[in-house]
Amino acid sequence: MSQDIRPGEEQLPFDPADRTEAGLSFIGAIRSPWSKGDCPRNIARARESGKGARIELRPGYGRGLLGLSVGQPVIAVYWMDRARRDLIVQSPGHADGPRGTFALRSPVRPNSLAMAVVVITSLDAGAGVIGIDAIDVFDGTPLVDLKPWLSTVDIPPGWTPEA
Amino acid sequence: MSQDIRPGEEQLPFDPADRTEAGLSFIGAIRSPWSKGDCPRNIARARESGKGARIELRPGYGRGLLGLSVGQPVIAVYWMDRARRDLIVQSPGHADGPRGTFALRSPVRPNSLAMAVVVITSLDAGAGVIGIDAIDVFDGTPLVDLKPWLSTVDIPPGWTPEA
């Protein structure tokens, strides 16, 4: 993994990867059509591709799907296992200057966590396999959580759609 | 921590806490008015209380706030360090029967991750302190990430507010 720094970028004086305080256990993997070079830049682009994806849970976890149903939106939380963790200010190509890591959805962050709001398209609790409408991650990305998306808690107070 | 099981609940045949595959490093802590016994059940209830909260970042992380501003919604991702991790079907008091862990927002899950969509009410990047409108977690809960909330990616496709 490159430790290069672009103009305007800033590194932490330590690598968070060396300071583990809690441990994640992978519950499954995201199977997607994407690999390095052809991965959509965000979930909207992934949706435009028309290509679905699926989540394969590890043995034992399928029972956790009880109560979910096809058509329901869920939040997939995954671990971007190839991302560096030591940049606190970044200069992404799409931004007009350096931005703090916490103002970006970049995979580069102190903890390589990301989330996607996706819609369940199929559900096989016995096999632990869930079809989802789209995803913008590499095939094989480790999954760490799955939560129901709830409009009452996952939309900011007072938010209304643009006219 | 109690390892009791309520009627209808199911335990994994292993404890995910014993199977660490990736490490989290805490970036700060959530300072809230809540402790065991008086913590609101969800963020909507926390908001109704009228009590704000704040995020205190650890040294080095304040620079990551560059580009965020007061009034902006962000996603706080935190680690529920007191929660058990081995239940895959649960019988919460508010539900009308057992539900899979992935159909619930319960703190009890294989990885003790939770997220809250909150609004920035004040911002001191130098001190690494962010005021937020509300939060439904215990004082001192470890923070693992902060991300900008984006309506283009964090709302499910086709979702519209109820009339």
Write down the ipTM of this complex.
Answer: 0.95
For position B161, what pLDDT does the model report? 82
CA nearest A154 in B: which residue?
B117
Query: B136 Cβ partners below 8 Å, 6+ apart?
Result: B34, B39, B40, B41, B42, B43, B45, B46, B116
pTM above 0.90, yes or no: yes
Report the C-alpha gap between A117 and B156 in whole angstroms.
6
pLDDT per residue, tens digit, chain B (163 aa), is 457 899 999 999 999 999 999 999 999 999 999 998 899 989 989 999 999 999 999 999 999 999 999 999 999 999 999 999 999 999 988 778 999 999 999 999 999 999 999 999 999 999 999 999 999 999 999 999 999 999 999 999 988 887 5
Nearest CB partner across the interface for A77, out of B113, B156, B160: B113
For position A137, what pLDDT does the model report? 94
Tokens of A97: 């200057």
Domains of chain B as residue ranges with CATH: 28-139 (2.40.30.70)
- Interface probe for B, chosen from A66, A82, A85, A90 (most Cβ of B below 10 Å), is A66
In the block, residue with structure tokens 């911002």: B123
Q: Does B23 touch chain A (CB under 8 A)?
A: yes
Lateral strand order in the sheet of A10-11: A10-11, A87-90, A99-100
In the block, residue with structure tokens 């199929």: A122
